[in-house]
Chains A and B, each alone.
Chain A
Amino acid sequence: DVKVTQSSRYLVKRTGEKVFLECVQDMDHENMFWYRQDPGLGLRLIYFSYDVKMKEKGDIPEGYSVSREKKERFSLILESASTNQTSMYLCASSLRPGNTEAFFGQGTRLTVV
Chain B
Amino acid sequence: DAKTTQPPSMDCAEGRAANLPCNHSTISGNEYVYWYRQIHSQGPQYIIHGLKNNETNEMASLIITEDRKSSTLILPHATLRDTAVYYCIGPISGSARQLTFGSGTQLTVLP
Q: With an 8 A cutoff between CB atoms, is A25 at the interface?
A: no
Selected interface stretch from B19-27, B73-81, B101-109: B101-109
A43 touches B44 (CB 8 A): yes
| Closest-CB distance, B54 to chain A (whole angstroms) | 18
- What residues on B are CB-neighbors of A31 within 8 Å? 97, 99
Q: How many residues of B contact A (CB 8 A)?
A: 26
Q: How far is the CA of A33 from the CA of B43 in the complex (A)?
A: 13
B97 touches A56 (CB 8 A): yes
B49 touches A101 (CB 8 A): yes
- What residues on A are CB-neighbors of B44 within 8 Å? 43, 90, 92, 102, 104
- What residues on B are CB-neighbors of A106 within 8 Å? 42-43
A90 touches B95 (CB 8 A): no
Q: How far is the CA of A2 from the CA of B58 in the complex (A)?
A: 18
B102 touches A100 (CB 8 A): no
A42 touches B97 (CB 8 A): no
A98 touches B46 (CB 8 A): no
Q: With an 8 A cutoff between CB atoms, is B34 at the interface?
A: yes
Q: Which of A56-80 contact B (CB under 8 A)?
A: 56, 58-59
A42: contacting residue among B98, B99, B104, CB under 8 A: B104
- What residues on A are CB-neighbors of B102 within 8 Å? 42
Q: How far is the CA of A14 from the CA of B91 in the complex (A)?
A: 40
Interface of A is mostly: strand
B99 touches A107 (CB 8 A): no
Binding site for A on B (CB under 8 A): 32, 34, 36, 38, 41-46, 49, 87, 89, 92-104
Binding site for B on A (CB under 8 A): 4, 31, 33, 35, 42-45, 48, 50, 56, 58-59, 90, 92, 94, 97-98, 100-107
User: Which 10 pairs show the lowest CB-CB distances between chains A and B?
Assistant: A104-B43, A43-B101, A98-B94, A97-B97, A101-B46, A100-B99, A50-B97, A98-B95, A42-B103, A104-B44
